[in-house]
Structure 1
Amino acid sequence: MGTSKSFSDGSVKKSKMIPNWGTLSSSLTSNCDSSVIPVQKLQNIMRHFVSALGGASTGGRGGSKAGGRSSVRTARKIGGVFSKFISSGNNIRETLESTGLIDIDNKSVDDVINHLIQYCSSNATSIDDDAAKEATRLLLEELMGEAESINDLQTLLEQTFTTSNLEDIIIRYFGYYINTLLSRWFYDNLIKSKKENDVNNLFNEIRNYVFEQVNDENKNYPLQNLDWSSEEADRLIKNIQQNVFNVFE
């Protein structure tokens, strides 16, 4: 099957109010080549990233203007979708109907993914919005992209939740979000002075490091039977994002 529409089309313009990320920018630039980046340097990059968001407690709880707000809102929607899938006895049609998708058997898997991207993410009017939306696409394509039909999709998700839980999925979403936010802020500027292969290598190295770290995050959050529209859901999702950021602080 094909892949769903990418929401990284550059339609969101960077504001002049770019955060003061000078130290982070310098660390990215100095490590932008084709080599394997040492773990210590990757640690420094990610520490600068969290610092630029005001620290794990500020950025993780949506208190930074630079990032971390849209990801909380989107993660709650993603949690609600997959919580419905689990509570419905892995009924993909019931789950999709709950999100407003109709005529499901005449929809392609790409249609489903694109619908869920729109359902889970707000309109991209900022870099943070855009990063949260693109991270949603990446997560959903990882979980659903190999399916060729609605029945395949149900089977894939059933398999996913035999080895993973909802916490795993939310944490993985934040991994995608972190890497995408970094890319949204710095890729275009780096490509002006560095080789494209070197820039791509830098972000691939960061992505791999981020996922290695977040996969080790303690996944012990009471997300079962949660009302995803509640203040408690907001608190728990902020806890998860803050704890993910804590890994790099």
Structure 2
Amino acid sequence: MGTTQRINPGVKHQPNWGDLSNSITQIAKTFEQEKKLEDEEAKEKEKETKKDEKNDDKSPLLNDNSKQFKKILDRRTEHINSAFKNLVKTGGGRKAISSGKSSSLGKAGLKSAGKLVSFFSSVAANGIDKTLTDIGFGSLKGKSFKDVIDYLLIYCSDSNQGMDETAANKASCEIMKEIAAQSDNDVNKYQELIKELVDGKGLEDTLCRFLGLYIFEHLSQRFEEKIQQEKKEDISKQTFKTIKNDILGRIKVLNQKRKVSKIDWNKTEGKVEIEKIFNSVIKILYNEKN
């Protein structure tokens, strides 16, 4: 059964998933419109080439097309904003999601975020060897870098495979793979990269990126198959690539004043800080002023 069959009706007394689905469909339509305009422009240019017309004669058409492309891009931005707002609404609002009280979005993301930062901070404080032993991997002796990463991918995943858990698992895996890819298959370099994250501002950025990926995975799970069926694979790929890049692009501008390296992630302050960061991520996606 495809993912589109697993869409639930959302949160009680909140807008239906239909508004969110429509926003995603409208984003996809802008790519169809863009392609149609590109095809029309290509045909006109071909006609002009055959007629050997002067450049001055081509300007009005090109200027008109330029205006049309801008309108399409503006509509796309509006629909992306609408999609983010509708996602937050279906989750019961920013506060419910960021505190883990929503029944559809947030709980698994917060849990996985806590697990990630706890692991990273432990590596920075105690070293990779002790941390791996503490989480059940055992000694590094005789183990390859791939063995370590494979174990961590499982460790950071939740066994409960609901849509929320799946979104968190995929986001966790992507973060782990990104750091591993920079490590040149070297455990010591991997350890140093994590220490640099925790000692600097990188851990906060990593947390924000994880939460952004987590939100994207919720949208992708629910609607990518639907758009692929309705608009074909190339439009679906363009649509979700754009949504993902937009989410991560917005999150890059976040700038928390407090250094998260000073947080004890195993205490209540760690949980509170993750919720605050998650709240900021949702706020910037939702485009709220306050």
Asked if these proteins are the same fold (TM beyond 0.5), I'd say yes
Q: Does 1:142 align with 2:171?
A: no
Residues 144 and 156 in structure 1, CA contact (< 8 A), matched pair in contact too = no
Task: Report the Cα offset of residue 74 of structure 1.
Answer: 0.5
Kindly, what percent of the aligned residue pairs are identical? 26
Distance 2:147 2:262 in 1: 28
State how 1:172-187 maps to structure 2 within 5 Å: 172-187=209-224
Residue of structure 2 aligned with 1:109, choices 135, 145, 148 = 145
Q: Report the equivalent of 2:130.
A: 94
- Return the offset for 1:69: 0.6
Matched, 1:61 2:52: no
The correspondence of residues 163-178 of structure 1 with structure 2, limited to 5 A, is: 164-178=201-215
Partner of 2:8: 17
- Note the 1:215-230 alignment, pairs <5 A: 215-221=252-258, 223-230=260-267
Q: State whether residues 120 and 195 of structure 2, in contact with CA within 8 Å, keep that contact through their aligned partners in structure 1.
A: no
Please tell me whether the aligned partners of residues 123 and 131 of structure 2 are also in contact (alpha carbons under 8 angstroms).
Answer: yes
Indicate the SS of the match to 1:73: helix
Choose from 8, 18, 30 the match for 2:26. 30
Q: Which has the higher helix share?
A: 2
Q: CA deviation at 1:117?
A: 2.6
Deviation at 1:25, TM superposition (A): 0.5
Aligned to 1:209: 246
Per the alignment, residue 189 of structure 1 pairs with 226
User: Following the alignment from structure 2 to structure 1, what is the Cα–Cα distance between the partners of residues 142 and 3?
Assistant: 32
State the Cα distance separating 1:163 from its structure 2 match: 5.8
Q: Which residue of structure 1 aligns with residue 168 of structure 2? A: 132
- Unpaired segments ≥5 residues, structure 1: 1-9
TM-score under structure 1 length normalisation? 0.84
Q: Counterpart amino acid of 1:231?
A: T
The structure with the largest alpha-carbon Rg is 2
Distance 1:172 1:22 in 2: 27
Change in Cα spacing, 1:11 to 1:234, as seen in structure 2 (3 Å) is: farther
SS in 2 for 1:148: coil
Match 1:157 to one of 184, 194, 212:
194
Q: Which structure has the higher relative contact order (CA within 8 Å, separation 6+)?
A: 1
Q: Which shows bigger deviation, 121-130 or 105-114? A: 105-114
- The residue type equivalent to 2:120 in the other structure is F
Instruction: Find the counterpart in structure 1 of residue 86 from structure 2.
Output: 48
Q: CA deviation at 1:71?
A: 0.4
Deviation at 1:40, TM superposition (A): 3.2
The residue type equivalent to 1:75 in the other structure is A
TM-score (structure 2 length as normaliser): 0.73
Give how far 1:174 is off.
0.3
Paired residues in the alignment total: 238
What amino acid maps onto 1:151 in structure 2?
A: N
Label 1:186 to 1:165 Cα distance change in 2 as closer, same or farther (>3 A): same
How large is the Cα RMSD of the aligned pairs? 2.6
5 Å-filtered alignment, 1:231-242, equals 231-242=268-279
Do the aligned residues in 1 keep the contact of 2:24 with 2:83 (CA within 8 Å)?
yes
